[in-house]
Amino acid sequence: MSDSISNKTASLAALSSHASLARAWQLPTLFAQDKQRFHDFSLEAAGLFLDYSKNHIDATTVSLLTEFAHSCRLEQRRDAMFKGEPVNATEQRPALHTLLRAPAEQRFELDGEVLSNDVQQVLDRMGQLSQRVRSGEWLGFTGKVITDVVNIGIGGSDLGPAMACAALRPFIKPGLRAHFLSNVDGHAIDAVLADLSPETTLFIVASKSFTTQETLINARVAREWFLNKGKTADLAKHFVAVSTNAKAVAEFGIDTANMLPFWDWVGGRYSVWSAIGLSVAIAVGMDNFRAFLAGAHAMDTHFRKSPLEQNMPVMLGLLGWWYRQYFGSASHLIAPYHEDLRLFPVHLQQVDMESNGKRVTNAGIPITSPTAPVIWGSTGTNGQHAYFQMLHQGTDLVPVDFIAAINPSHDRANQQHTLLANCFAQAEALMVGHQKDERSGHEGEALAEFRVLPGNRPSNTLLMDKLTPTSLGALLALYEHKTFVQGVLWDINSFDQWGVERGKTLAARILPELEGKTSSHTHDGSTAGLIARTLQKKR
How does pLDDT run across 485-499, given as a tens digit for each residue?
Answer: 999 999 999 999 988
Q: Averaged over 212-230, what is the pLDDT?
A: 97
Q: Averaged over 410-431, what is the pLDDT?
A: 97
Q: By percentage, how much of the chain surpasses pLDDT 90?
A: 91
Q: Is CATH 1.10.10 the right assignment for the domain spanning 498-537?
A: no
Q: Which of 187, 231, 247, 385 is catalytic?
A: 385
User: Please, is 118 exposed, middle or buried when counting C-beta atoms within 10 Å of its C-beta (0-12, 13-18, 19+)?
Assistant: middle
Query: Is a pLDDT exceeding 90 seen at residue 385?
Result: yes
Q: Please say if 480 is a catalytic residue.
A: no
Q: Which of 199, 214, 354, 513 is catalytic?
A: 354
Per the document, the length of the chain is 539
CATH tag, 97-289: 3.40.50.10490
Strand order in the sheet with 48-51: 42-45, 48-51, 459-466, 400-407, 331-337, 374-376
- DSSP-assigned beta bridge partners for residue 150: 179, 203
CATH domain 32-71+306-435+442-490 topology? Rossmann fold (3.40.50)
Q: Please say if 179 is a catalytic residue.
A: no
What is the pLDDT confidence band of residue 518, given thresholds at 50, 70 and 90?
confident
Chain region(s) in the chain for CATH 3.40.50.10490: 32-71+306-435+442-490, 97-289
Q: What pLDDT is attached to residue 440?
A: 52
Q: What pLDDT is attached to residue 234?
A: 97
Query: Is a pLDDT exceeding 60 seen at residue 122?
Result: yes
Q: Averaged over 119-148, what is the pLDDT?
A: 98
- By the 8 A CB rule, do 288 and 171 touch? yes
Q: What is the DSSP letter of 203?
A: E
Q: Which of 83, 229, 434, 504 is catalytic?
A: 504
Q: Please say if 354 is a catalytic residue.
A: yes
Q: What pLDDT is attached to residue 276?
A: 98
What is the pLDDT confidence band of residue 253, given thresholds at 50, 70 and 90?
very high
